[in-house]
Amino acid sequence: MSLPFDEASAAPIRRQADSDTACLLLHGLTGAPARDLWFLADYLTGHGISVVAPLLTGHGKTWKELELATAESWQNDARTGLDEARTMGKTVFVAGLSMGGTLTLYLGEHRPEIAGLVTINAPVYLDDPKLRLVPILRHFQRSQPKSPPDVADQGAMLPDLGFNSMEAVYQFERLMQGVRGNLDMIIQPLLSFRSMQDHVVPPRNAEYIQDHVNSRIKSIITLERSYHCATVDYDRERIAVGIEQFITLVRGQQT
């Protein structure tokens, strides 16, 4: 039985630090800010980086709310979150887990003023052949059972919907397709984390993304101990430290 979302686990995050640097954090499909991103938010704020992490449309309740979301509504959430982050710091970075990483790439394609991008197990394609049927199935099947959150750390109790909206899966496919076709528009520094034991997103996505962007500074960090939800898994501190070091590196090259 899945642990349901409540107000605390679905809450957006907004923390102002004493610096001119801010980071927008974006959660994954069926996730939420306080579920997926609490450790990153704590760490970055503790190192002087302001953080904002919005709740994406349809998330944090049940799959029935999720089926009302669209690729465009998530893109709008990401743009709004970026605008909020820009009120918190002159220099803004964006980092996202899973679908949040896909949205991070979307912002990079359309907002060149972003200082740097970080993706964590972000997909621009999925291998599951059953996804080819989703555009049709969504008209006959509203939801499907989903596996528990993919974490190696079994002590991590993560709220979960228990089901996924077929319409949301279709909208996620639309989002990935659009982002995949415009990767060459990305010129910002890019750091990609990928878990080698990811049971949701093929780890090869990281290479595909890096091969198709036009970033001069780009690198991949491989995570050996974590599964898909790596930001709350065994490598969460490594990710947080890596992001803080990436931000410091990029800021240093701008001065």
Kindly list the structural domains of the chain, giving each domain's residue range(s) and its CATH number in brackets, ordered by start: 13-254 (3.40.50.1820)
CB burial string 18-53: b at 16+ within 10 A, e below: eeebbbbbbbbbbbbbbbbbbebbebbbebebbbbb
Residue pointed to by tokens 């009302």:
68
Please state the rounded mean pLDDT for residues 196-215. 97
Residue pointed to by tokens 């009120």:
87
Among candidate residues 10, 57, 54, 15, the one with its CA nearest the CA of residue 34: 10
Q: Kindly name the residue from 59, 228, 233, 235 that is annotated as catalytic.
A: 228
Instruction: Work out the number of other CB atoms within 10 angstroms of the CB of residue 235.
Output: 23
The pLDDT tens digits for 69-124 are: 999 999 999 999 999 999 999 999 999 999 999 999 999 999 999 999 999 999 99
Residue 198: active-site member? yes
The phi, psi pair for 24, rounded to 5°, reads -85, 125
The pLDDT score that the predictor gives to residue 1 is 45
Among candidate residues 195, 192, 168, the one with its CA nearest the CA of residue 31: 168
Which amino acid makes up residue 1?
Answer: M
- Token pair of 29 as six digits: 């499909």
Q: Kindly name the residue from 198, 215, 226, 235 that is annotated as catalytic.
A: 198
Residue 228: active-site member? yes
Q: Kindly name the residue from 9, 50, 98, 226 that is annotated as catalytic.
A: 98
This prediction has a pTM of 0.95
The pLDDT score that the predictor gives to residue 165 is 85
Residue 9: active-site member? no
- Token pair of 248 as six digits: 């410091």
Length of the chain: 255
Pairing of strands 91-97, 116-120: parallel
The pLDDT tens digits for 145-187 are: 788 899 999 888 788 888 888 889 889 999 999 999 999 999 9
The pLDDT tens digits for 39-64 are: 999 999 999 999 999 999 999 998 89
